[in-house]
């Protein structure tokens, strides 16, 4: 794949301001400042384990809630992944990963299908209400994956198989998704053209 698979997008709303760059063929280098510390931690892990270079500058109305900033960054990230993929010729298309983090174990499966879909199961009862780091609500984890999947055109299955600590669960989810995404967007020398019997993704 000689064409650089990069994208640079901006998004400005009354709730947030985002400048985001991705390079799908990077080394996992990141420079992330979203004004939401735990989200920075999760996106840094996503970049490192997907080998996607990611730079994000985001500000928003976090004095109200982190929701708008977190969601809007995920929307832009999904759009950037979709743009960087281009026509998807020559990619592996599918990826899967099983990732532990201490007591937490998460499986993620990704299909660069062009059909947005998220199946997200297994988080323990009450996870969605927990404030991780005192500011990042557990419910935002699923919301981020939903926004990425729908804006990147991915089919994503994430299953939390075990876990007790909310930090561990959230981080394992992001790492598993990153590893699966890394496989799915990787060039495959044996693939000729679009990896679909329909001829388009």
Residue 119, φ and ψ in degrees, nearest 5: -115, 120
CATH number at residue 17: 3.30.230.40
Q: Give the confidence band of 1 by pLDDT, cuts at 50, 70, 90.
A: low
Number of structural domains found in the chain: 1
Q: Which domain holds residue 63?
A: 6-185
pLDDT tens column, 5-43: 999 999 999 999 999 999 999 999 999 999 999 999 999
Q: Give the confidence band of 147 by pLDDT, cuts at 50, 70, 90.
A: very high
- Mapping DSSP to helix (H, G, I), strand (E, B) and coil, where does residue 32 land? strand
Give domain status of residue 195, yes or no.
no
Give domain status of residue 174, yes or no.
yes
* 2 pLDDT higher than 80: no
d(CA 186, CA 94): 9
DSSP string, 150-167: HHHT-EEEEEEEE-S-HH
Give domain status of residue 17, yes or no.
yes
Kindly state the average pLDDT of the residues 60-69.
94
d(CA 3, CA 1): 6
Give domain status of residue 57, yes or no.
yes
């Amino acid at each position: 794949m000689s064409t650089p698979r990069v994208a640079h997008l901006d998004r400005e709303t009354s709730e947030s301001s985002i400048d985001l760059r991705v390079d799908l063929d990077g080394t996992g280098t990141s420079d992330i400042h979203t004004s939401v510390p735990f989200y920075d931690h999760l996106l840094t892990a996503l970049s490192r384990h997907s080998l996607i270079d990611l730079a994000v500058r985001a500000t928003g109305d976090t004095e109200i809630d982190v929701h708008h900033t977190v969601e809007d960054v995920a929307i832009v990230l999904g759009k950037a992944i979709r743009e960087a993929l281009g026509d998807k010729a020559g990619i592996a298309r599918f990826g899967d990963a099983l990732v532990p983090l201490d007591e937490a174990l998460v499986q993620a499966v990704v299909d660069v299908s062009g059909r947005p879909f998220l199946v997200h199961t297994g988080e323990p009862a009450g996870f969605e209400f927990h404030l991780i780091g005192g500011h990042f609500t557990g419910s935002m984890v699923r919301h981020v994956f939903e926004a990425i999947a729908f804006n990147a055109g991915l089919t994503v299955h994430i299953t939390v198989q075990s876990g007790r600590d909310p930090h561990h669960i959230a981080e394992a989810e992001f790492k598993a998704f990153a590893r699966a995404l890394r496989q799915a967007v990787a060039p495959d020398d044996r693939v000729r053209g679009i990896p679909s019997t329909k001829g388009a993704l």
